[in-house]
Amino acid sequence: MGGVSIKEVARAARVSPGTVSNVLNRPERVAPATRDRVTRVIRELGFVRHGSASTLRAGHSRTIGLSLMDIGNPFFTDVAAGAEDVASELGYAVILGNSGGSRAKEEHNLRVFAEHRVRGVLITPSDGDPRRLDGLREHGISVVLVDHPAHRPDLCSVTVDDVAGGLLAAGHLLDRGARRICHVTGPLTIRQCRDRREGARRALAAAGLDPESALETVEAPAMTARAGQEAAERLVASGRLPEAIFCANDMLALGVLRGLHQAGVGVPGDVALIGYDDIDFAVASAVSLSSIRQPTYKLGRIATELLLDECGNPGEHAHRQIMFQPELVARESTGR
């Protein structure tokens, strides 16, 4: 990979290579005017410092970066396991970054990856604009989107059809006789949440119901068990319990289950409940949780295979946008 060198930065900024090194590592030692000039040249030339001497010689390392939205969510833990297994099999290590859904944290992760000259990056982007990843690719760092469609032919992506998943979940509740459904979702700024809700709305419309009146949406601030429990407490306090609840992920659903149980509301006797992801905890809960299964481990594996194929065969690599179909898993929480 032909990156810009410190000597080239020094020549363009009219300083010594040692001054450039100080700006990168000990900026307090450099006069502000000089530091600003060097920083501007670094930005203009697209210079990225190397993480190690061996990386500097080779131009890249045998590492890949993995930036995930929420490593505390078992969904992403399984994705990471699949990615790490493939990377290890092919002699690579994985540098993990957790964005927490924050664009600022995500950009920090990407800077760290670039500084360490990773061979490629797997990312669940915090927003829907992959164009800001083009800077990495311009420096020879391949990128694959995980759990997010690319919507462009020059970028690989591996995802699941979340609209179909939402349709499956709401359709199952309708099949169980529910006509008033509450959708407990995470922030609707998240693409997956929007798509799952859209799928639920389509299921209601196909059943001849008005989605505006038949589907109540409760937007939680996070996709966690605590946020789910708080959503359930609000529903109970309102005195208007729905016939069924569809949660945008299993962590929310497990929190809803706990909140309903503490309020003496039976599942599925009083309210049917379905989650999304089919994490291991879904089957281990006191009332086994119906869910929409995603091939999480496979997502990580396939994405890493695509990434390393692009790294190793840039001229022959065919970009692919892979979309898996989700699967309904009915258990006790919806009365099977």
Supply φ then ψ for residue 157, to 5 degrees.
Answer: -150, 150
- Pair 299, 82: CB distance under 8 Å: yes
pLDDT tops 80 at residue 209: yes
- Pair 299, 147: CB distance under 8 Å: yes
18 Cβ contact partners less than 8 Å away, ≥ 6 residues apart: none
Average pLDDT over residues 129-140: 79
State the amino acid at position 331 in one-letter form: R
| CA distance from start to end of the chain | 55
pLDDT band at 332 (very low <50, low <70, confident <90, very high): very high
| 85 alpha-carbon distance from chain centroid | 18
- What's the pLDDT at 54? 44
184 Cβ contact partners less than 8 Å away, ≥ 6 residues apart: 218, 220, 228, 231, 232, 245, 246, 247, 248, 252, 253, 256
17-25 vs 6-13: helix axis angle to the nearest 10?
110
Query: In whole angstroms, what is the distance from residue 244 CA to residue 241 CA?
Result: 8
pLDDT band at 50 (very low <50, low <70, confident <90, very high): low
Nearest to 185 by CA among 219, 221, 233: 219
258 Cβ contact partners less than 8 Å away, ≥ 6 residues apart: 225, 228, 229, 232
Supply φ then ψ for residue 39, to 5 degrees.
Answer: -60, -40
- Pair 181, 169: CB distance under 8 Å: no
pLDDT band at 113 (very low <50, low <70, confident <90, very high): very high
Average pLDDT over residues 106-116: 90
pLDDT tops 70 at residue 307: yes
- What's the pLDDT at 193? 96
Number of neighbours of residue 1 by Cβ within 10 angstroms: 11
Mean pLDDT of the chain: 91
Supply φ then ψ for residue 96, to 5 degrees.
Answer: -100, 135
Quote the tokens at residue 305: 């295979």
141 Cβ contact partners less than 8 Å away, ≥ 6 residues apart: 113, 114, 118, 119, 120, 121
- Pair 140, 1: CB distance under 8 Å: yes
Greater confidence (135 vs 196) lies with 196
What is the pTM (predicted TM-score) of this model?
A: 0.80
Q: How many CA atoms lie within 13 A of 56 on its CB side?
A: 10
By residue count, the chain amounts to 336
pLDDT tops 70 at residue 1: no
Lowest mean pLDDT among 44-58, 192-206, 244-258: 44-58
4: helix, coil or strand?
coil
- What's the pLDDT at 135? 81
pLDDT tops 80 at residue 296: yes
- Pair 331, 283: CB distance under 8 Å: yes
Give Cα separations from 55 to 50, 81, 101, 139, 296 (angstroms): 7, 25, 30, 14, 32
- Pair 216, 179: CB distance under 8 Å: no
- What's the pLDDT at 199? 98
